[in-house]
Chain A
Amino acid sequence: MNALLQVRAVTRRYRMPRSSILRRGPVLTAIENVSFTLERGRTLGIVGESGSGKSTLARLIMAFEAPDEGEVLFDGKNLHALSSAELRLLRRRFQMVFQDPWGSLDPRHTVSWSIAEPLRATGAGEIGRRVDEALSQVGLRPQDGSKYPHEFSGGQRQRIAIARAIVTRPALLVADEAVSALDVSVQAQILNLLMDLQEDLGLAMVFISHDLPVVACLADDVLVMRAGQAIEAGPTAALISAPRAQYTRALLAAGGLMP
């Protein structure tokens, strides 16, 4: 069987705005030659700081944009070679949770409407029953679905965003800084919820964060990104007990794991 997700030597460059009308703008290489493989049911943590390319990597995995070089294979299929109709159907199998639970939910629609959106987009049936199921999987009640986002706290909104991501029963969840905006005690609740969902539903997860201790508590493997390059990768326990890169040690120190 194929690995669920294979990222093969992807590079993504952006053309920056020109500063002179006579010259083209400079090229920024956001990601350079990054590769990894994620098996079904496993969690890969991607750690890096702003500008490291970790969110660009998330957008490539989600096929929001295409790499300039390399390829992303989901269940053996090259995501960037599919037709838009094929991609739309395949999307129900990989979903994303974003950082900001205020910005990612439409304030004018009920929670149920927002959770059902990926079902409508991918043409799935039994919408009402599946929305209720997703709500209860994230620890909310079915009647919460008729409320609006402003009626919920930040932690509950992130539960709603997770419900929207799992409602299509995906095999892969990509979480980009999904707990960074939350208070410590709420963050722990959401991290535990992600662990529950992963184990109960057999989800594979790409968990992206600047916070290495947070990543370490739920990732099987960790990839450390800096300035667009993967500078260190390995099983979580080994990477934490014996980090090779100076930069990884600094990330550990910042999280309070080391004096």
Chain B
Amino acid sequence: MMDLKGVSVGFGAAYALRDVSVSIARGERLGIVGESGSGKSMLGLTMMGMVPDAARVEGAIALDGAQLARASERVWRRHRARKVAMIFQEPMAALNPLQRLGETVMEPLQVHLGLSRAAARDRTLELFAEVGIPDPEARLRQYPHEISGGQRQRVLIALALTCDPSLLIADEPTTALDAHVALRIIDLLVNLAASRQMALVFISHDLAAVARATERIAVMYGGEVIETGPTPQVLQDPQHPYTKGLLGARPGIGGETPGRGPDGRRKRLPTIPGTVPPLSALPAGCRFSGRCPVELPHCARVRPEPHRVSGNRIATCHLLGGRA
């Protein structure tokens, strides 16, 4: 339903996204994983048509058949909320502190869908129930500061669902939440995707969250998607050196059990040397060159081609071979 082909987003000579191709089918749950500066949030904004004015967008963005890469803000507005909706990391910042929760959710129902006040109120109560907000009647009259972070995120999800979008983009929706609350929010998003046949793009730096939330995963580095495939396969058997490094560095997922080695010293975590370079200083060839432990002499100069590892698994690395 959403299809990005060779999409680049540039600022001057630097690219925040370079040649990104991803597609999402109806009801599918896609995870986008990466560290700060990987371009994952920019990819989410691109799918919402919300890239900054200064950015240059190249490539093709199709949403239910409509071509949107060069669409105006007016055109995008017809699609936002109805087809694509988005939730963010910090629910307090996304809610108006002076507006009651009921008013906040009723507003788009009245403005976009033309519902009467009474009908909008009834629909809001249904939405609150659908996202698991207890005692919805009482919530209508409350303000954002009166409820917990997890409940706020649920209100934002209800708000995003007001116009029945077919794609929900969630950018770090659980990062600001406590672990057990985060699990509930993830499970809610998974259930909503199934019950509504709604596609979900789940953007996060948290591999454990993405593992739980998604069926397919795209790993980003330096503004490019460097590996995609079914989530369990990518996490269990990563192909790209960056994905391998990232999984190894996260305690409790890919690596060894913690404890002490035979020498009595504590086992160290495998690390990726260095840090993500700024966009303007990324190597022209493979974005990961310079930090890669298995780098070849031509990696920094020559861009690797996407390689089909198997079935629906693709990794972009010179070591794996040529074009998919």
Contact = CB atoms under 8 A, between A and B. Distances in A.
A155 interface: yes
B182 interface: yes
B208 A256 contact: yes
Range of interface residues on A (Cβ < 8 Å): 35 or more
Interface stretch (A80-88, A120-128, A161-169, A208-216): A208-216
B271 A192 contact: yes
Interface in A214-235: 214, 216-218
B180 to A, nearest CB: 5
Interface string B259-277: 1000001111111100110
A49 B269 contact: no
A214 B179 contact: no
Interface stretch (A8-16, A66-74, A92-100, A246-254): A246-254
A56 interface: no
A55 B305 CA distance: 49
Contact of A184 (B182, B250, B258, B265): B250
Interface string B215-229: 000000000000000
A211 B178 CA distance: 10
A192 B267 CA distance: 9
Contact of B180 (A49, A195, A213, A240): A49
Interface in A40-73: 49-50
Contacts of A2: none
B258 A195 contact: no
Contacts of A185: 35, 245-246, 249, 271-272, 275
Contact of A50 (B178, B212, B252): B178
Interface in B77-122: none
Contacts of A247: 180
B103 to A, nearest CB: 25
Interface residues of B, number: 32
Nearest to A189: B271
A186 B275 contact: yes
- Chain A contact residues: over half helix, strand or loop, or mixed? helix
A212 to B, nearest CB: 8
Given A50-B178, A216-B252, A254 B272 contact: no
Interface in A138-167: 153, 155
A237 interface: yes
A256 B266 contact: no
Contacts of B180: 49, 247, 250-251, 254
B35 A184 contact: yes
B271 A256 contact: no
A237 B271 CA distance: 23
A184 B249 contact: yes
Interface string B196-207: 000000000101
A188 interface: yes
A191 interface: yes
Interface of A: 49-50, 153, 155, 183-189, 191-192, 195, 198-199, 210-214, 216-218, 236-237, 240, 247, 250-251, 253-257
Interface of B: 35-36, 178-180, 182-183, 205, 207-208, 211-212, 245-246, 248-253, 258-259, 265-272, 275-276
7 contacts: A184-B207, A185-B246, A213-B251, A217-B269, A247-B180, A256-B211, A256-B212
Given A256-B252, A256-B253, A257-B252, 14 more contacts: A183-B205, A185-B271, A187-B249, A188-B270, A188-B272, A189-B271, A213-B251, A216-B251, A217-B251, A236-B259, A250-B183, A254-B182, A254-B208, A255-B252
A-B interface, 10 closest residue pairs, ranked by CB to CB distance from nearest:
A213-B252, A256-B208, A254-B179, A188-B249, A49-B178, A183-B35, A188-B269, A217-B258, A185-B272, A217-B251
